[in-house]
């Protein structure tokens, strides 16, 4: 008569322990891969948001213009953001006033006004990009009649107004721009971007637009 055999308690415990180790190892590997994938996706998202926003701002700023002495057709930075007149939105003769500002919930806003009729800041705004935790704008200009690199300067207070004099700005001929500052020689735009779920630290992106 055959004797029935089975697993002993010790054998069952050893098997469970081995399966547990294998399961934990698989979970750790899967979790590590998932975190790496999420970080990669977040990095791509930041690059795309920052690049798209910077490209749009640069394209429109390159076509920025002012009318000397005009309080409407001007380039101005306020506590709300930067505003300027441009023709870069469409292939038409229309003139637009564009404004870029960062909202407190880390959203980059764009305001568009046409026809240009009043000072900017009150138009309805559309959301351009999310996760923007910083917007920095600096203005490059010649602060001396000698147009050499030694006399090139960037504003440190992020202020510029083509209508009201804020800095001592010279034109390409070495003449002081008075009583108005006019357009700067260049504008440097910086965006500090963070993905919505904060998988990685924030990163900053910059571009320089020469006018």
Tokens representing residue 162 in the block: 């083509």
Q: Is 138 helix (H, G, I), strand (E, B) or coil?
A: strand
The alpha carbons of the chain give a radius of gyration, in whole angstroms, of: 28
The percentage of the chain sitting over the pLDDT mark of 70, rounded to a whole number, equals 83
Per-residue burial over 56-82, b = 16 or more CB atoms within 10 Å of its CB, e = otherwise: bbbebbeebebeeeeeebbbbbeebbb
Which pLDDT tens digit goes with each residue over 17-74?
A: 888 888 888 888 877 877 777 777 777 777 787 888 899 899 889 888 888 888 888 8
Task: Tell me what pLDDT residue 208 has.
Answer: 93
Question: Hunting for tokens 């006018």 — which residue is that?
Answer: 211
The residue ranking higher by pLDDT, 106 or 114, is: 106
pLDDT interval class at 188 (50, 70, 90): very high
Tokens representing residue 46 in the block: 């930041």
* DSSP structural state of residue 194: -
Tokens representing residue 65 in the block: 């213009």
Task: Please report the sign of the dihedral spanned by the C-alpha atoms of residue 114, residue 118, residue 124, residue 125.
Answer: positive
pTM of the complete model: 0.75
Q: Is 162 helix (H, G, I), strand (E, B) or coil?
A: coil
pLDDT interval class at 3 (50, 70, 90): low
Asked whether residue 141 carries a pLDDT value surpassing 80, the answer given is yes
Which residues lie across from 99 on neighbouring strands? 83, 111
């Amino acid at each position: 008569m055959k004797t029935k055999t089975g697993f002993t308690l010790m054998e069952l415990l050893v098997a469970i322990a081995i399966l547990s180790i294998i399961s934990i190892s698989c979970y750790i590997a899967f979790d590590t891969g998932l975190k790496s994938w999420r970080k990669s996706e977040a990095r791509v998202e930041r690059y795309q948001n920052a690049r798209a926003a910077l490209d749009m701002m640069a394209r429109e700023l390159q076509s920025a213009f002012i009318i000397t002495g005009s309080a409407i057709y001007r380039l101005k930075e306020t506590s709300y953001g930067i505003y300027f007149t441009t023709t870069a939105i469409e292939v038409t003769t229309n003139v637009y006033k564009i404004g870029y500002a960062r909202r407190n919930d880390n959203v980059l806003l764009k305001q568009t006004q046409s026809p240009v009729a009043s000072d900017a800041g009150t138009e309805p705004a559309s959301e351009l990009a999310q996760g923007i935790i910083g917007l920095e704008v600096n203005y490059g200009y010649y602060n001396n009649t000698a147009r050499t690199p030694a006399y090139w300067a960037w504003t440190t207070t992020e202020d510029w107004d083509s209508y009201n004099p804020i800095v001592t700005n010279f034109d390409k001929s070495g003449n002081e721009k008075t009583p108005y500052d006019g357009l700067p020689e260049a504008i440097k735009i910086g965006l500090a971007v963070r993905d919505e779920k904060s998988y990685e630290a924030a990163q900053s992106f910059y571009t320089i637009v020469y006018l």
